[in-house]
Structures are given as C-alpha cells and as structure tokens.
Structure 1
Amino acid sequence: MATQYGIAGTTAKGIAASVERGVAEGALNPGDALPPVRRLADGLGVSAGTVATAYQELRRRGIVVTRGRGGTVVAAAPTVASRRPPKVPPGVRDLAGGHPDPAFLPRLVPPSRLSPGARSHRGTPRLAQLEEAVRAWMAPDGVPTEGVTFAHGALDLIGRLLSVELRPGDAVAMEDPGYHHLLDLVTALDLRTVPVAVDDEGIRPDALRAAVRAGVRAVVCSPRAQNPYGGCFSAERRDALVAVLRERPEVLVVENDHASAVAGAPLHTLTSGGLARWVHVRTVSKFLGTDLRWAAAACDPTTLARHDGRLLLTSGWVSHLLQETVHGLLADEATRASVARAGESYARRRSALVGELARHGVEARGVSGMNVWVPVRDESAVVNGLRSHGWWVAAGARFRLASGPGVRISVADLEPADAVRLASDFAAVLGESEATYGG
C-alpha cells in the first residue's frame, strides 16, 4: 500500500481530486495500492459509499484500476500523465526514442514573409498548392483523395475526430502492442480501449472481428511500420480486414500511416475497400523533422465535414507559414532524394539487427518501419541488463494492453556494425536473466 501520501477529502469529488493530485505530482506511482474503501472511509470520517464513489470516478477516468482481491491500484499509465519514457541515463546509447536519424533530415528554411497579407485564413484554411501536393502524394497508393484536410499532427487529428464521433464510454479497437501516445489519448478522452492483436501483417482479422462484434465504434490502426511491432498490411490481409469492417459500416476506420515515405514497405490501404467511414492520416515528422507538427488526411465526406467543423471552432486553421514550409520541402528534389536514402537506410539497419539477433537465437519482429520488437520474459531485467552494456531500449509496458512483454529498439541511427555488438550483448543479457530470474 502507498503510505507516503495522505489522501484527503470529505466528499467523493475531493477524495478523487486528492488521489489525482498525488498521481500527477508523482507521490503515487503506477502500481501503488490505494487503501481499502472502509479503511480510508474510517480515516477520513466519511461513509464507505463516499469513498466507493470516488474510486469509481477514478476508475472511469483511467487513473486507477481494480484487481479483484489485489485491491485498487494506480493504473500503469494514469491519464493525468502520458506514458512518458524514463529519462535516458548518461553515458548510454539511446535506442528508445523512435526518432529519425538527423543525418537524413533537411535543413528547415521558412518562407521569407511571416504573413501572407490580408487573406482570410478561416475562409481558405488550406493552401491550394499543398492540397494538390497531398493528392499527388496519396493517390498513387490507392487512397481516395476527393476530400483532404490538414491538422497539427496525427494525434491532434485523431483526437479531434474521436471526440466528435464518439461519446464517453464508447469502445475503440486499438493495436496491441500499439503506439503508447494513442493508447493514452483514447483513455484521456474517456473512451474504452479494446485490444486487437497484431502480427507481421498488422492487426489480425480474427481479433478485429471479435472487437467489431463486441461493439467498437472506431478502429485505429497502422497499415505499415506499425509501432512498435513493425507489421505491415499485405494485399491479402487488407482484403480480409475490409471484409470484417464491412460487417459494421458505421464504424469509423482511422488509418495512421505515420512513417509513409520511410516505412520500407508498400501501402495496402483499407481506404481503397469502399468503406463508408474512414480517414487516412499522414505526417512528415519522421522524415522532414519532428518540429513540423503537420498532418494531412484524406476522408470520406462526412468525416471531413465533422473534422473541419470542429477545427473551425478551435484553432481555425493550420499555420500557413507551416504549410508553405512543408510544401517547399515536399516539392524539393534534394529533399526527396534524402528521404529515399533514409528509407533505404532504415530498412537495412532494421534487417541487420533482426538478422543478428536471429543468429544468436533471439526472435525479433520488424518487417517495416524504424523499430524492432523483441519478445522477452522480463522487461525490467532486459532493460537494466542492456543499460549495463551501454544500451538504452524501451520497456514494452508502455505499448501493451493485453499482449505479452517485450522491448522496443529504435534502429534509425543504428548502423549494421553496431547491430552486431548489440545483438551479442542482448543474448548475453538474456542468459544472465535466465540464470537470475529463471527466464
């Protein structure tokens, strides 16, 4: 039980706020147990029903979870704070961040004028030349591009759509393991996550069918470079998933093609399957720069109207200065050549690590993208063991809902020569883990 933080309050709202404050300030950590209902009620001089109501509110908002006889504990990723990774210790090689190799990023030169003049930004929120560039970018991959829109990054767009389309308590099918910020976003919107298992071809049709028949209102998935597992849709998998989704045409399908140009795999998009409600999202942060907080999306007419209607009421538009910068880079021949080299290098580095691990008898997943997922029995033992060898990798807990443990290794700047040493160290750490922890 957590004993270093005194929960206060005389009402359910006050007690819940006290627990939330403790979590936000770090006095209550993931896994810390809260006092049993009757014990806390006696200590605060309130009824057991008041404490039970407070705990119920905390559960509803994803701050705590109940484990039967294990009591009520702080959630692994409480929604008052995203699943932020621990700070990288000094003196180790960071392979946990998932960032692109800076060597392949272009130099960002913004337009010379900070204002385009008296143009109505709300009346013309998107630059026509960038709209056409987006259509030319997506259409060859089979994405319908009659309706396109922009947002301040993929999370901004997906969060806006889910908040418009769904209501608190609605269920969303999410990849498992999946991108931790998306998992946190869904919980923060007071929506329920339904885990959908993935493999080398992305989300599995049987798992998706179970989620759809269970009543999910939306599906969020990656067609390639799935983070962290690395799967990508084949044409056959795409067709099987579309067949499942056609059973529930009202379900909104959100396809997050976050790595696109550097995914190292062709796109087999669900949006080409004649679905009723869909959106295909692309960003440029993985190959043009992490500070370019811009996303493009192609949508069905209803989804487009709902997104843009809410955007108009909030930020109104995406900075035209940002749009001009993105357009200039997308149109630049040297930049396109650098992006192509980046995609080839990431594929070579990813394959090198998977191959080296296999040579040591270590299974690893990663057929596309910038990450490799390695199933392990004890995440902490592996992370700490690799740290002692000078490597810092991401524990899989941030990415998982119901799937088994693992670690994620970002390979964007891991040269094949370095992969040889990392794989050897990884195998050694697994051997040490088995000797110490029995697996």
Structure 2
Amino acid sequence: MATQYGITGTTAKALSASVERAVTDGGLEPGAALPPVRRLAEDLGISPGTVATAYKELRRRGIVVTRGRGGTVVAPAPAVASRRPPRVPDGLRDLAGGHPDPAFLPDLLPPGRLAPGARSHRSSPRLPRLEEAVRQWLGAGGVPVEHVTFAHGALDLIGRLLSVELRPGDAVAMEDPGYHHLLDLVTALGLRTVAVAVDDEGMRPEALRTVLRAGVRAVVCSPRAQNPYGGRFSAARRDALVDVLREAPDVLVIENDHAGSIAAAPLHTLTAGGLTRWAHVATVTKYLGTDLRWAAAACDATTLARHDGRLLLTSGWVSHLLQETVLSLMTDDGTQGLVRRAREAYDERRRALTDELGRRGIAAHGMSGMNVWVPVRDESAVVNGLRTHGWWVAAGARFRIETAPGVRITTAGLPPADARRLAGDFAAVLGESQATYGG
C-alpha cells in the first residue's frame, strides 16, 4: 500500500509534497524505491498521469532519480537537505570538519565607525575601497579584474551564477571527488551533476573533454586546495585545460579559489587563458573568519551583468557593514601576518601527515590546502577503526560521484607530532581491515 511509503494526496502537487516530507523526515532514505506509477495510482485511486507528473516534478527538483528498470528512487543526496556529516562522538579528535585552526583566525570586530542614515546601496553596492583592494588581491594572481562583484559567500555566488545561466536539467561538470556542499547545490538547483575525475593537478583534461562533448553547460573547478583531494593546477595542467575549454566557448567556467591565501600553492588560473564565459570566485572564510559570509568574483562582462541583475532582485547588495569589516582585515598588517603564519603551518601539517602515511606504505593525496584524501577499500571500516583509536575522520561517500572510496582528513589542527601517531593508527586499522576482509 502507498501508506507504507508515507505518500498521500490526490493531486500532483500534493503527491510531490508528501514524498518531499517523507524524504525530509527520514521515512524515505536515499536509495529507497518509490512505487511504480501505475501501482501508486491504483492504491490512491487517481490517474497514472497525476502520479507521473508528480514524479517528473520530483526529478526536476533533484529529490528522486530514475534508474531505468530500477525504477524511481530517492536521490543519493536529496535536494531537500545537504549531506550533513554525522555528529562527532564525544571524546574523539575531530579531523572531519574541514575547518581552519581557530588559533590562526583574527578577532572579528565591526568597523569603528559607519555613518548612520540612508545610503544608496543599490546604486553603489560595492565600497570603492574594497573593490580596489579586491582588484589588487585577485590581479596579483593573474586574474583579469576589469569586472568584479561581491556576494554572500562562495556558495551563494556560485549558486546565483548557475541559476541565471542554466535551466533545470542542464548538466554541470563537477570535480570527482568534490566539495559536498557544491554537489548538493547543483542538485538543489535542478541541474545534473556530471563527474570529472581529478588527480594531484586538478581536473583531468581528457575527462573534461569527454563531458564537454557530451553537452555540459558549465564547469566548476578549484585551481588549488581542491576539497577533498588537495590538488592544485600546475602551469602545464592549466594550459591543457584551457586548450580543452576553448573547444566549448559557450560553456561557463567557474573557478572556485576558496582557500587561496592559505593554500600554499601558486595560482595558475584558467581565467588568464582568454576564455569567453568565466568567473573566478574567491572568499575569506577559511582564513579571516567562518562568520564572514562574503566572497568576491572577477568575471566577464556578461556574467557580471547577469549576476548583479539577479542580486539586485533578491538581497540587493552585500551589507556595507560586512564590507567594511572585510576591508579592515584585508588591509591590516597584523591580520595579514597571521594569514601568512596560517599558510605555513597548514602546509607543514599537511605534508607531515602525507609523509608519515607514505613511510607506512599508505598512498595519500594532499598537494595544497587543509585536507588529505586517502583511498581505502572500505570507508566504514577505516572510519570506525580510527574511532577506536580516538580519531574522527570523514567518510568519502558524501564527496564522491563515481570515484573509488576514500576518507578525508582535515589537517589544519593536526600538529606534526600528532600526525605520526595518526599514521601509525591508520596503518594498524588497515591491517585489521585486511585481515577481516581477506585483503
């Protein structure tokens, strides 16, 4: 009966709403099969066309997917909720969150003075001094900075760019493994995620060429500190990717440099390659403060106009109070010294873990940023095994599309001395896993 699925209603709208409620409440988990159209129609006493319309709407919104003869099932990451990590158990060392070390974040103080009264935010949405600081910041990395804009964080900016450029059902090329919130965002917009394999130098050119020829409408990638793999573009890889992208001039290329100032890797930006449609997104959340929901982008003129037009119709502008706070931190010598120390410490800590794992014969990836990706055969066995040793790491499932299993370890708060102990425990857990599973 349909009641076992928590599905009720006599209209397509009511049906789709009941399925969404069941997914949100956990009654229908990812991968759960929905009843066939005709069976559900018979159970509810409605027409098959009504059920088909409801299922079509659920597919459009990314809540369910159709698997041919496998029927309609709840999407692996339903668009009604992001793939939130499980709560960190008490008493464990948290290396799963992807967060910076608080010791390297400056105190967040509002600007000492901001004149009261009405200001023309819509006619002057960006503070000229911050706009100039952004041009210097991004331009120093080789990004063309004729057109810049601001938003409420990188995800807000990327989501707006995709929503004004694409339509539900369009395909977006995404890194695999990739940042889980970005993967969920694409699904929530009703877009299709198409996997592009990555390695230590970022997206693989031939994999990108394949999906471009298949008709993707946008590409989202990270030039450095790729999350979770830790890859970074070399100059040669950047050039190879630009050559591929020039074959598809109408595709929007979004470069997400989310941790640039602490990545400990030079920026080899795709945007310097003469692309037609592009945006370089940069944010400060990882090194100036997690509460600073602000991002900047340099982009081509068409992308700027479309983004700012949509921004004008929604939030209108980014708070001048927030802009003043960001500007004060970006131009403060003490804060910039703290950022430099963070970059050096994160680089040392990441390298310490990959080196220690390597000494034990464990392959690990982490050329830049704050995370290390370790391929494993059984994610659950490794996560639970490390838990018994007092460590909490992230299972790779929520970062993966098609790539093989792995775990992500955030090294931002892991001093080199602790990396040695973690690597030893990791080796012990792998040995136990191999013995259990006949490896």
For the aligned pair, the TM-score class normalised by the smaller chain equals: over 0.9
Task: After TM superposition, list the pairs within 5 Å mapping 1:289-438 onto structure 2.
Answer: 289-438=289-438
C-alpha distance in structure 2 between counterparts of 1:420 and 1:304, whole Å = 47
SS at match of 1:385: helix
Give 1:4 deviation, angstroms.
6.0
SS at match of 1:141: coil
TM-score in terms of structure 1 length: 0.96
Note closer, same or farther for the CA distance 1:87–1:136 as it changes in structure 2 (3 Å cut).
same
Counterpart in the other structure of 1:57 = 57
Give 1:438 deviation, angstroms.
3.7
SS at match of 2:286: coil
Give 1:38 deviation, angstroms.
4.2
Note closer, same or farther for the CA distance 1:83–1:332 as it changes in structure 2 (3 Å cut).
same
Give 1:302 deviation, angstroms.
1.1
C-alpha distance in structure 2 between counterparts of 1:327 and 1:212, whole Å = 38
Count of equivalent residues: 439
Q: Is the 8 A contact 1:2 1:32 kept in 2?
A: no
Note closer, same or farther for the CA distance 1:429–1:33 as it changes in structure 2 (3 Å cut).
farther
Give 1:2 deviation, angstroms.
11
Give 1:3 deviation, angstroms.
8.5
C-alpha distance in structure 2 between counterparts of 1:73 and 1:249, whole Å = 35
C-alpha distance in structure 2 between counterparts of 1:438 and 1:279, whole Å = 48
The range that moved more, 65-74 or 140-149, is 65-74
Counterpart in the other structure of 2:32 = 32
Note closer, same or farther for the CA distance 1:437–1:52 as it changes in structure 2 (3 Å cut).
farther
Deviations 1:329-377 (A, max 9, x none): 1111111111001011111110111111111211111100100011111
One-letter amino acid of the structure 1 residue matched with residue 123 of structure 2: G
Can you give the 5+ residue segments of structure 1 that lack an aligned partner in the other structure?
Answer: none
1:133 aligns with 2:144: no
1:268 aligns with 2:268: yes
C-alpha distance in structure 1 between counterparts of 2:95 and 2:418, whole Å = 12
1:196 aligns with 2:174: no
Counterpart in the other structure of 2:119 = 119
One-letter amino acid of the structure 2 residue matched with residue 328 of structure 1: S
SS at match of 1:150: strand
C-alpha distance in structure 2 between counterparts of 1:357 and 1:295, whole Å = 35
Counterpart in the other structure of 1:91 = 91
Give 1:216 deviation, angstroms.
1.2
C-alpha distance in structure 2 between counterparts of 1:268 and 1:48, whole Å = 54
The range that moved more, 420-429 or 342-351, is 420-429
C-alpha distance in structure 1 between counterparts of 2:116 and 2:252, whole Å = 36
SS at match of 1:414: coil
Give 1:48 deviation, angstroms.
4.2
Q: Is the 8 A contact 1:2 1:34 kept in 2?
A: no
Give 1:189 deviation, angstroms.
0.9
Counterpart in the other structure of 1:170 = 170
C-alpha distance in structure 1 between counterparts of 2:289 and 2:174, whole Å = 26
SS at match of 2:159: helix
SS at match of 1:336: helix
Counterpart in the other structure of 1:235 = 235
Note closer, same or farther for the CA distance 1:329–1:69 as it changes in structure 2 (3 Å cut).
same
Can you give the 5+ residue segments of structure 2 that lack an aligned partner in the other structure?
Answer: none
Q: Is the 8 A contact 2:2 2:40 kept in 1?
A: no
Deviations 1:266-318 (A, max 9, x none): 00000111111111110000000000000011111111111111111111111
C-alpha distance in structure 1 between counterparts of 2:307 and 2:66, whole Å = 35
